[in-house]
Amino acid sequence: MTRSRPSFVATRLVFYHAPVAYLPFSDIDHIQLAMPSGGEPIARGFYVEVLGMVEIPKPRELAKRGGCWFASGDVQIHLGVEDEFRPARKAHPALRCHNYEALRNRLKRAGVEAVEADDIPGVRRCHVCDPFGNRIELVAD
């Protein structure tokens, strides 16, 4: 027996105009990025010292796996250990920044290259890589 794939044509339009009560999601809880085993001190140096996030404790069971979690207000980035680690060079989180210029200056002082992107009219943004090579987009508020 062959199964046909469901058709999702026009799903976006239906949900986009649907009342909020019918939308399946309310927010993004966290973003997960990978890192190599033993990279926690390096991650802390970048996400806390450079980006200005705070480390939040992982639940005990999850802490056994390694990795670390960071937050800035409601924004959370979880770094998990991946045995055959490969950085995310295309897929990436995009983080809105309250003080984009100050963050850009902090990145520069830390020696982190920020590549400006001017391909979306009216949007000021840049891309950086964490110490593991994961791409992160920073967007000015």
The 10s digit of each residue's pLDDT in 56-94 is: 999 999 999 999 999 999 999 999 999 999 999 999 999
Task: Please state, in angstroms and rounded to a whole number, the distance separating the CA atoms of residues 106 and 115.
Answer: 14
Q: How many CB atoms neighbour CB 130 within 10 A?
A: 22
> Length of the chain, please?
141
Q: What are phi and psi of 8, to 5 degrees?
A: -110, 15
CATH superfamily, with its number, for domain 27-140: 2,3-Dihydroxybiphenyl 1,2-Dioxygenase, domain 1 (3.10.180.10)
Relative to beta strand 75-81, strand 31-35 is: parallel
Predicted TM-score (pTM) of the model is 0.83
Mean pLDDT of the chain: 90
